[in-house]
Structure 1
Amino acid sequence: MVRARPARALACGLLAGLLSWGLVGQAGAETPSPAPEPSATPAVSPAPAETPAAQGRPSAPSSPSVPSSPSTPASRAAAADDPSAFLTLAVAPRGGPVADAFYEDLGSFAFSGSVALADGSQVRVERRDASGWTAVATTAVTAGAYAVSLPVEAAGTATFRARGAGTEGADVVSAEVGVEVEDSRITVSAASKVDSLKSLTVRGAIVPARGGVTVHLDVHDGTRWSNSVSTTTAADGSYLTSVSTGKGRLKKYGLRASYRATNRPRWERSPGMPFTRIAVLDAEVDDTTSADVAKTYRKGCPVGASKLSTIHLNYLGYDGRMHRGVIIIRTDLRQEIIRGFGKALDKRFPIAKMNNPNTYGGNDPKQMAANNTSGFNCRKVVGNPYKMSPHSYGTALDVNTVQNPYRDARGKWWPSAGKKYRDRSPLKKGMLGSGSALTTSLAGDKFFWGGRWNPGRDYQHFEYRG
């Protein structure tokens, strides 16, 4: 009986026959196997050798190469090249006086953005300066977003970026954002010259405009700056005030305005500007009142208040400063008096005092001893009780009575302190001469100067003889 051979035994026999004829080797030589292509996947360790039980079974096909997922370090670094896809940054003004602009030392930079980082992750805002990037604010991520602020300080262009730390150790950086910070400033304006006895009117404004800001006006006296006055800005940012520093002096000063900055311990100051206090006569004429002559008018006097004028004017004192004085004169002579003292001031001729004779009770010897300059005083001639003085008519003027003494008919000098000024050469401070500005001006308006009398002398006296 013929028994069928098993299929496996048949296959083995066939393979042995082929080997004996060399057919398998020739086929391998004529048709080489193609070289395998390089795998895109990383190299892996060789699989362990098959166990004897597994020998003869075909091996399982290898798995195809799989690209890296976006969460790998390589793909995260690529995302950093396109920051807007991972971390954004916006910069807006907050808390400043202008809603859509940044101003030096006012309000804040408000930073915000979205980020693909876990809650609690840190995002820091960096600013670029001359040395590179510097962190200026740090905050934590909440629900994929962040927000933080920074006080605005210096004017100019400010460039920022945001930076966050990724989970794989690679930082993510936003695109750069540049903003312009405008200059905050204060202005000051005033006249370059001002009457020495008046306050200087000062005005200016702060930019950007806002009310309630305390502005300090500082004056430089040639040695140092010192605060003169403070004021507050109106709603439109303007201010108006006056400065009295240096009143009475004839001098040049510096002026500036300043206010304290909000965000930094510094002062915002205007450029300095000069102003000069100058000598101005500033004569004002009023009708004489009964009070003006309360001690100098007496019943029976030839001229009363109705025919007199009270002149207020400035004069240069012996102390080198300007003062305000008063002269009472007959009304029709007021322009001559104003003109005469104007010429005297132009030449810086000094006056010791110019008070109303009421100050001395209308007593002429007392006001002469006080070195007072005056006009109307209804009285007798000093040293001659039988003659009415020209001062009683409002037509005479006495000037610097000590430096310009009076000698009466008996040879007595008034006041006694004036004796040392009998020698008229050289002329000293306050002394009148034939060529003095006041003497020549009044002489041109028909006033006689008593210094020309002989043998008597009245160096202080001017008398109208028109």
Structure 2
Amino acid sequence: MRLQPPPGRPRSALLATALVGLLAVAPAAAFAETPSPAPAASPAATPDPAATAGATATPEAAPTPVPSPGTTAEPAGPTPSSTPSATSTPSATTPTTAGRAPAQRAAAGARALTLRVTSSGSPVAGRFYQDIGRYAFSGNATGLAAGTTITVHRRAAAGKTWTQVAAASLVDDAFSARLPVTSMGRFVFVATTGGAPGSGDELASAAVTVEVADATTSLDEPAARVDALKKPALTGSIVPARAGVEVHLDVKVGSRWRHQATATTNAAGKFRVAFGHRVGTLARYTLRATTHAPNRDRWDVSGSRTLTRVAVLNAVVTRTTAAEVAKTWRKGCPVGRSKLSTITMNYYGRDKTMHRGVLIIRTDLVPEIRRAFGDGLDARFPLAKMDNPNVYGGNDPKQMAANNTSGFNCRKVVGNPYAQSPHSYGTAIDITPVQNPYRDSKGKWWPSNGKSYIDRSPLRFGMLGASSPVTKQLKKDGFFWGGLWNPGRDYQHFEYRR
């Protein structure tokens, strides 16, 4: 409201009196507070003129905020814990940020933090692989006190949740830390002065994105079918390639995996291992290769592969050597050693697994023997043994008792010392003598442990009959079966008659 002069007092007197009062009060107010020079106001921080009428200082411009995690820009400066309201008016007892010394404001604006992430212990320089090597964190800081704790946080590139993974203290404005690499994928790392990025007033580095590749173990596809008596070589490789890594070959038994063999990688990361599990057993196997993860207690596993052990004759024919007939040939025998061949071949045993044996026969009969024993193998006709008669000193009763299948043996007929056996010519074979015993001209059965097989009906495992695959094939190729002799019987015997 407007002041009216008291009645009877001139307006000039009133003005003089007011001027004297102001001069008396002004020096006292200046002594109580001397305002700091006000910085130029930022347009973004210009207060409402109506709200600041009569103020003696202009507030500071609003500071630039810390960038959110995931950006590539370095933070421009710290975020103050309290921002002056654009509508507040400074008073003599509550100084504003404009009251800070210029040196303090400069130091606060210079604070910065950097982060570098490199690979340590990786087989490939500059690359990261799951469960191999380490992340090497390092960085520098300015405007921070020595000993300040720097924390490193991580999140998945497509995720939002941060996890603290390392911490270190500032020494000479630098920090460093390490972390084992475990998971594969794409990750983002940020260093802060405490707390997850964006959670408060922490100072944060620029984000660093890292790609962690999969470390793999691979097993190459083996041959689908292999000779049951072979130990096939299985091959594979690891990524990243490196030498000296132990690789386990596992085989599945029932519902569980069992370690079967071990190999070591070469410099190219490749390995080779022989599969020797249950050699001779006719079965299908599921296999895999595994390597132990260096950074944690787990195994890296390849895809599974299958392999089947099968029955194959795999007959190998060689010239018979003097050593091979050392106990069964002598001068005067009706066939010369040069006309004999040694067949080394697989056979199906009475234990229902595969074995390898030898049979010596006249050379021109090799094809017939291969056909007959091939048919027998296909039909899973079992043989107990197929040893060189040398093992028994050429003694036929001994090898009959041992249930040995044999061919050439320059000897007399068992039970008839006056007759030369057809075996002396390399044209006869005896098959599983125990299950197929022989009765001589005097009625004696050989071998004695084969008497339980004299009764031929029904035919049991390993007994030969007129319809047996071996019998039929040999008959077709010109062999006579001794099981048809009468009154004698020689169920084990076949001889060529063409």
With normalisation by structure 2, the TM-score equals: 0.79
| 1:13-66 Cα shifts (integer Å, max 9, x gaps) | xxx999833357799xxxxxxxxxxxxxxxxxxxxxx9x995586964973663
Aligned letter for 1:97? Answer: P
The corresponding residue for 2:65 is 78
CA positional deviation for 1:308 = 0.4
Does the residue aligned with 1:171 lie in a helix, a strand or coil?
A: coil
Comparing 74-83 with 156-165, greater Cα deviation is found at 74-83
Q: Cα distance 1:58–1:230, how it changes in 2: closer, same or farther (>3 A)?
A: closer
Question: Given the alignment of the two structures, is residue 303 of structure 1 paired with residue 369 of structure 2, yes or no?
Answer: no
Q: How does 1:257-296 map to 2 (within 5 A)?
A: 257-296=289-328
Aligned letter for 1:446? Answer: G
The corresponding residue for 1:181 is 212
CA positional deviation for 1:251 = 1.3
Larger radius of gyration: 1
CA positional deviation for 1:204 = 0.6
Picking from 180, 183, 194, the partner of 1:151 is 180
Question: Given the alignment of the two structures, is residue 121 of structure 1 paired with residue 148 of structure 2, yes or no?
Answer: yes
CA positional deviation for 1:455 = 2.0
Q: Cα distance 1:24–1:270, how it changes in 2: closer, same or farther (>3 A)?
A: farther
Give percent identity, aligned residues only: 53
Q: How does 1:32-51 map to 2 (within 5 A)?
A: none
| 1:236-263 Cα shifts (integer Å, max 9, x gaps) | 1011121211101111222111111111
Aligned letter for 2:203? Answer: V
Picking from 354, 363, 367, the partner of 1:335 is 367
Tell whether the 8 Å contact from 1:87 to 1:162 is kept in structure 2 after alignment: yes
What is the CA–CA distance in structure 2 between the aligned matches of 1:311 and 1:240, rounded to whole Å? Answer: 32
The corresponding residue for 2:124 is 98
CA positional deviation for 1:175 = 3.2
What is the CA–CA distance in structure 1 between the aligned matches of 2:226 and 2:40, rounded to whole Å? Answer: 84
What is the CA–CA distance in structure 2 between the aligned matches of 1:446 and 1:177, rounded to whole Å? Answer: 85
Q: Cα distance 1:19–1:381, how it changes in 2: closer, same or farther (>3 A)?
A: farther
Q: How does 1:448-463 map to 2 (within 5 A)?
A: 448-463=480-495
What is the CA–CA distance in structure 1 between the aligned matches of 2:248 and 2:497, rounded to whole Å? Answer: 56
Tell whether the 8 Å contact from 1:77 to 1:170 is kept in structure 2 after alignment: no
What is the CA–CA distance in structure 1 between the aligned matches of 2:165 and 2:315, rounded to whole Å? Answer: 65
What is the CA–CA distance in structure 2 between the aligned matches of 1:24 and 1:286, rounded to whole Å? Answer: 148
Q: How does 1:133-282 map to 2 (within 5 A)?
A: 133-165=162-194, 170-189=201-220, 190-222=222-254, 224-282=256-314
The corresponding residue for 1:35 is none
Structure 1 unaligned regions, length at least 5: 1-15, 28-49
Does the residue aligned with 1:109 lie in a helix, a strand or coil?
A: strand
Question: Given the alignment of the two structures, is residue 21 of structure 1 paired with residue 21 of structure 2, yes or no?
Answer: no
What is the CA–CA distance in structure 1 between the aligned matches of 2:60 and 2:187, rounded to whole Å? Answer: 32
What is the CA–CA distance in structure 2 between the aligned matches of 1:288 and 1:251, rounded to whole Å? Answer: 34
Equivalenced residues, count: 424
Q: Cα distance 1:411–1:121, how it changes in 2: closer, same or farther (>3 A)?
A: same
What is the CA–CA distance in structure 2 between the aligned matches of 1:346 and 1:337, rounded to whole Å? Answer: 14
The corresponding residue for 2:96 is none
- Superposed CA RMSD in Å reads 3.0
CA positional deviation for 1:409 = 1.6
| 1:264-296 Cα shifts (integer Å, max 9, x gaps) | 121112122121111111111111111111111
Question: Given the alignment of the two structures, is residue 350 of structure 1 paired with residue 382 of structure 2, yes or no?
Answer: yes
Q: Cα distance 1:55–1:160, how it changes in 2: closer, same or farther (>3 A)?
A: closer
Comparing 60-69 with 451-460, greater Cα deviation is found at 60-69
CA positional deviation for 1:108 = 1.3
Does the residue aligned with 1:172 lie in a helix, a strand or coil?
A: coil
The corresponding residue for 2:55 is none
| 1:197-245 Cα shifts (integer Å, max 9, x gaps) | 1102111100010111111112223353222221211101011121211
The corresponding residue for 1:63 is 35
Structure 2 unaligned regions, length at least 5: 42-58, 77-111
